[in-house]
């Protein structure tokens, strides 16, 4: 997967920093926090390992940045996709779009998102503070969708939308641990997740 910055860095130093960050996201998404070594990151980035310390004070500082970028980009991606939904779409339609955008970004488009999701429960607590703030903003986006859908009568009035929302986000995030494209396509996975929301939360 490839997930570089939307606007490429202009200076050589900024480009090198971005390359290191991209490499760290790739390694962290594959090997996890415990298995990520600066030597592996350096090899992927095409730099000497000591050069990493010019841009990041420690391995943990680099990991924290990857985690924050992952959480930040998921939120921005889903926000952008929702902003492009035509006026007049139902809130349920918007939730279907959000499910699709989240899963495709997580599984196809972003090493950062995969690294952030996969390692959220494995990094030291001090590395979770900044990414967790982004995750809270993203969770609020989903909460607002569910509240609006419930107020519009598109989902059941008796549904505990906070519990359902947390279950949905947890299920979608956990997909990175078990999804195998050789056994089921991403389209099938997205359709199943959408059906879970439509039939689990929607009006009978």
pLDDT for 6 equals 45
Using the 8-state DSSP alphabet, how is residue 184 labeled?
A: S
pLDDT for 142 equals 96
Give the three-class secondary structure for 86. coil
- Residue 130 and residue 68 in contact, taking contact as beta carbons nearer than 8 Å: yes
Q: Spell out, as residue ranges, where the chain has pLDDT lower than 70.
A: 1-10, 109
pLDDT for 29 equals 87
- Give per-residue pLDDT as tens, 17-58: 989 999 999 998 888 888 989 999 999 999 998 999 999 999
* Chosen CATH of 59-201 out of 3.50.50.60, 1.10.357.10, 1.20.1250.20, 3.90.1150.10: 1.10.357.10
pLDDT for 10 equals 67
pLDDT for 9 equals 57
- Distances in Å between the alpha carbon of 5 and those of 35, 71, 78, 97? 25, 14, 16, 23
Query: 202: which strand partners?
Result: 155
pLDDT for 120 equals 82
- Distances in Å between the alpha carbon of 46 and those of 12, 37, 52? 14, 14, 11
pLDDT for 8 equals 53
pLDDT for 7 equals 47
pLDDT for 109 equals 67
């Amino acid at each position: 997967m490839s997930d570089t910055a939307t606007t490429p860095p202009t200076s050589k130093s900024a480009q090198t920093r971005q390359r290191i960050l991209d490499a760290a996201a790739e390694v962290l998404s594959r090997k996890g926090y415990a298995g990520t070594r600066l030597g592996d990151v350096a090899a992927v980035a095409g730099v000497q390992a000591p050069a990493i310390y010019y841009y990041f004070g420690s391995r943990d500082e680099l990991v924290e940045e990857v985690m924050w970028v992952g959480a930040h980009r998921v939120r921005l991606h889903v926000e952008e996709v929702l902003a492009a939904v035509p006026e007049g779409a139902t809130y349920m339609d918007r939730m279907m779009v959000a499910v699709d955008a989240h899963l495709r970004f997580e599984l196809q488009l972003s090493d950062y998102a995969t690294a952030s999701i996969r390692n959220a429960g494995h990094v030291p607590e001090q590395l979770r503070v900044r990414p967790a703030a982004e995750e809270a903003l993203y969770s609020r986006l989903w909460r607002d969708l569910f509240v609006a859908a419930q107020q519009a009568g598109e989902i059941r009035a008796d549904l505990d939308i906070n519990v359902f929302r947390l279950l949905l986000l947890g299920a979608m995030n956990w997909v990175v641990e078990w999804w195998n494209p050789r056994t089921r396509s991403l389209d099938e996975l997205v359709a199943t997740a959408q059906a879970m929301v439509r039939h689990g939360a929607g009006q009978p």
